[in-house]
Structure 1
Amino acid sequence: MSLPVARPLALVTGASSGIGRELAKQFAENGFDLIVAAEDVELDDAVEELRGMGATVAPVSVDLTKRDDVERLAAAVDGSGRPLDAAALNAGVGHGGRFAETDLEAELGIVELNCASTVHLAKRVVHAMVARGEGRILFTSSVASQAPEPFQAVYGASKAFVQSFAMALREELKDSGVSVTALLPGPTDTEFFDRAEMTDTKLGASDKKDDPALVARQGFAGLMKGEASVFAGSLASKAMGRLSAITPANVATAMKRPMTEPGSAGS
């Protein structure tokens, strides 16, 4: 009598809402069990939904701006007693406004979460996957990584960091059995703009944001195919991302200003 095939295991950070929650649902729909991480109470609702989809789900409540919490999450993965087949390092935050006026602690928090915790957790995940000779990693980057972002200067720089890191890591690991994919969504209908205090910008007020479920579906498909970068969302968002990548930085930056400048929603 043959034993049942064990379900693969995936880790998703920032899984309580938005793109992260939709990525977790993609994994659940495709036969994965999950370790999901976030710091807010919405994680409980996400866990209930994912379990309703048939997945075994282990929630870990962590603040990934804290190094000890990153280690606690890594320990939870190790403590599962199961190999990690995929990791979606998705947790991220933004903060809008004029750099001369914005809160320093908020912007250092962006660097800690978007950059430092991504590197920290990737170190733990990559080490185990390389030792096994297999695994998949998805980094949530952004079309904002393709050119500087005025009025969200630190956020844009943090996503440029993530994109560069992901692509360098992909090249390093190309013969290891571990694939690395970067997900580059455009403006998406999540809590991001509220939390980033950008609802008074044209970008934040736009009613043409992408569905996070679509972004996650495209990101998951790209991850499973082993693609390098996935410009996700609508055709317009994909075109915007690719255009930013080939437009001179000074030109692309100037083009973004009318969309991200505080107060631009009413102009």
Structure 2
Amino acid sequence: MERKNQYALITGATSGIGYELAKLFAKNGYDLVIVARNHDELKEKADEFKSFGGNVITMAKNLFLQDDAFSLYSELKLNGISPEILVNDAGQGVYGKFQETDIHREVDIINLNIVSVIILTKLFLKDRLPTGFGKILNLASLASKAPGPWHSVCHGTKAFVLSWSEAIREELIDSGITVTALLPGPTDTDFFNKADMNESKILEDPDNLASPEEVALDGYNALMNGDDKVISGFKNKLSVAMTNISTDSMAAHRMGEMQKPVNKT
């Protein structure tokens, strides 16, 4: 396979959609910078990705912390690495009624889902603008399109990511740098477990969950095409179409019914 001699920087690269995206980049001849918190998981995945023939750099960083987002990029610069592609995949949610959930965990989630994403993107842009080439893939979500009772903070962060991605895409229109938002629906990853969301009605039917491989491929293709955004999956496209013709309160009610615990009526 022809090597591209281009680095893709991918956060949340050891599991779920981020892992599948990293595998796609490796298979397509890219070198990788993979970011996650766990050293052992990073090493295991790096060994797997290296089997496709490229370089893999591991960065153990906790992106709940602003300092780790800044130090990630400064360490790359010290090593002379300027990734051509940035994939902001790392993200979490917390499940439950807002008045009952842990505020410290929610602040962590805002730092991970929003603050680390805008820091990494800002540093990437400063690095790439002089070259006139770069591609950014931001993980928004179907959650960005409707208010999310029982999952309110996550939905709010993803609405930010989508709005902000579309705004900076317009600012960058003549720069040679594209910004693409990926909007998956519920996907078969560890996200629900980490969010303590296993009681949600949304998980009652396994057919509701997309495969992370399919979502990653949709995102990869949209990124390479320079698309503004992609809603992954036909059912999710229908869901967004319904949301678009609903009032916000109707959309919130519908989402709340989908996400409430199974034992709640």
TM-score normalised over the length of structure 2: 0.94
- Mapped to 2, the partners of 1:244 and 1:57 lie a distance apart of 41
State the number of aligned residues.
262
C-alpha change, 1:206 and 1:266, in structure 2 (3 Å) is farther
Give CA-to-partner distance per residue, 1:228-262, whole Å, 9 cap, x none.
Answer: 01101x3112322343244321111111111111x
Which residue number in structure 1 is paired with residue 214 of structure 2? 214
- Mapped to 1, the partners of 2:3 and 2:195 lie a distance apart of 43
C-alpha change, 1:15 and 1:246, in structure 2 (3 Å) is farther
1:107-126 to 2 correspondence within 5 Å? 107-126=106-125
SS in 2 for 1:100: helix
Instruction: Give the C-alpha shift of residue 6 in structure 1.
Output: 5.1
- Mapped to 1, the partners of 2:17 and 2:5 lie a distance apart of 23
Which residue number in structure 1 is paired with residue 131 of structure 2? 132
Instruction: Give the C-alpha shift of residue 66 in structure 1.
Output: 0.8
C-alpha change, 1:225 and 1:147, in structure 2 (3 Å) is same
1:169 maps to a residue whose letter is I
1:156 maps to a residue whose letter is H
Which residue number in structure 1 is paired with residue 224 of structure 2? 224
Gap regions ≥5 residues in structure 2:
none
Gap regions ≥5 residues in structure 1:
none
Q: Which ranges of 4 or more aligned residues in structure 1 deviate by more than 4 Å? A: none
Report if aligned partners of 2:135, 2:179 keep a CA contact under 8 Å in 1.
yes
Instruction: Give the C-alpha shift of residue 24 in structure 1.
Output: 0.5
1:37-76 to 2 correspondence within 5 Å? 37-40=35-38, 41-76=40-75
2:108 maps to a residue whose letter is G
Which residue number in structure 2 is paired with residue 31 of structure 1? 29
Which residue number in structure 2 is paired with residue 18 of structure 1? 16
Report if aligned partners of 1:258, 1:264 keep a CA contact under 8 Å in 2.
no
2:83 maps to a residue whose letter is L
SS in 2 for 1:59: strand
TM-score normalised over the length of structure 1: 0.93
Matched, 1:83 2:82: yes
1:138 maps to a residue whose letter is L
Give RMSD over aligned pairs. 1.6
Q: Equivalent pairs: percent with the same residue?
A: 37
Query: Mean Cα displacement is larger for which, 196-205 or 97-106?
Result: 196-205
